[in-house]
Structure 1
C-alpha cells in the first residue's frame, strides 16, 4: 500500500506573517489526527526556515519550490541542495510547469537538479504534464514519456525511492479546470506503465504519483479515490487552512 501525500505549493504567495499563521494553522489542523497521510508545504525561499519552525513537531514536512544543481559558486540568485538541507528542508519540487513553460527549464536541467537532490538525500517531487494542445492532439502519453525519460535519465532504480511523481496537466493548473477523475487515473496508469517498462514492476508499484491541477475540497475525495492516484500537489487551495485542511483529510480516505 502506497502512503498518500498531500503537498501544498504556495508558489510566489504569502508574506512572513501570513505564511507563519498558515503554517501554525495547518499544524493545529493535523494535531491529534491519525498520521496515515504525509503532509508537505512548500513556501517561497525567504520563509522556509520560519515555516519549518512554525510547523514544529506536527509531522508536516517542509520543501522548496526549486534548487540548483551546483554545490556552490558564482551562480547569482540560485540556491543549492546543501543550503536547503541546512535549514531543514525535506523535499524540493522540480520540473513544475511554470518552471518549464514560463522560465524555460528543459528536461536536461531538471534532470541535473533531480540527480543533485537525490545524491544528497533530498526528496524530489518531479512534475510532469501536458499542454492543452498536446492533449487535444492525443499526445499526452508521448509528452509524459519524454518528460519521464528526460527527468529520470541516469537515475537508478534504487534512487527512485527518493522521488515522487506529480502529474499536473498544464491546462488544469490555476485555470479552474480539472482533469476528470478518469482522465487523472488514466495518466497515472500510463506513468506507472512507463516505470514498469523502464525500471521494473515493483518500482512502478512502489512509486507514489500525485495529481495536481485545480484540486479543491469539492473534488479532492473523488480524485483521491482513483486507484492510481496517491495524493495531490495543491496550488491555490493550499493557501488557506479552510481549503487545504479538508484536502488533507480527504487523503486519509485512501
Structure 2
C-alpha cells in the first residue's frame, strides 16, 4: 500500500477530516489533500509527526503495510488518545492592529511561532509575549528579550527579572545592569550577596569605588562588622563626596536601604 493510501486509511480510522489533520500537523488542508492524492510528499518532520499521531513507525507509514492485528491495535490506541487533537492549538483573533492580530496563540509540540499584540506560543513575538522564547515589549518566558522581561534568562531594554537578568535595571540570581540587584550583582550600582560595581556596591562582599558591606574593597569603604550599623547620613555624605552630581533619585534609593 502506498503512503498516500495509508495516510488516508489512518486518518479515516481516526475519524478525522483533512482539516483536522492539517490543524494538528501544522499545514494547510490543501497539503493534506495533495499527500493523499499522491501529488506531493511531506517533509521529514511532518512524516515523524504523522507517525507519532497514528502510533506507527516511520517505516510502517512510508514502506510496509502493518498486519491486520497491528492495525486493530493502532485503531484501539488511536481512539484512546483522542486528546492528541491538542497536539497543536492555534487561535488568531479576527481583530488586528497594523496587520497583527490582537491575540495569537500557537502552542504544541515542535516549533510554533505566535505573532500578535498579545502572543502566546513556543516562540512568542508581540507587545505582551509569553512563551519558551519571548520577544517583545513585556516578555515572560524561559528566554526573554524585550522592553521589560521576566523569565529564566532574560534581556531587557529597560528592566529584566529572572534567573539571569541583563538590563539597565536587572534583578535576578545573576544580575547585570546599570542598577543590579541579585545574589551576584554586577553594574554601576550593585546590591547583592556579592556586589561588584564601578560606582557603588552594597553587599556581604562588595567591590566598587564606594564599597559597603561585611567584606569590602574599594577607594572608599564603609565596613559593617560586629553588628555595627551604618547610618543613612554616613552613606549620603560619602556618596555626595564622591559623586556630587549623581542623580538624586538614585542617591535616595540607595540611602533608603539604610533607613
Instruction: Quickly name the TM-score band, shorter chain normalised.
Output: under 0.3
TM-score normalized with structure 2 length: 0.19
Which has a greater percent of strand? Answer: 2
Structure number with the bigger relative contact order (C-alpha 8 A, sep ≥ 6) is 1
TM-score normalized with structure 1 length: 0.20
Say which one has the larger Rg: 2
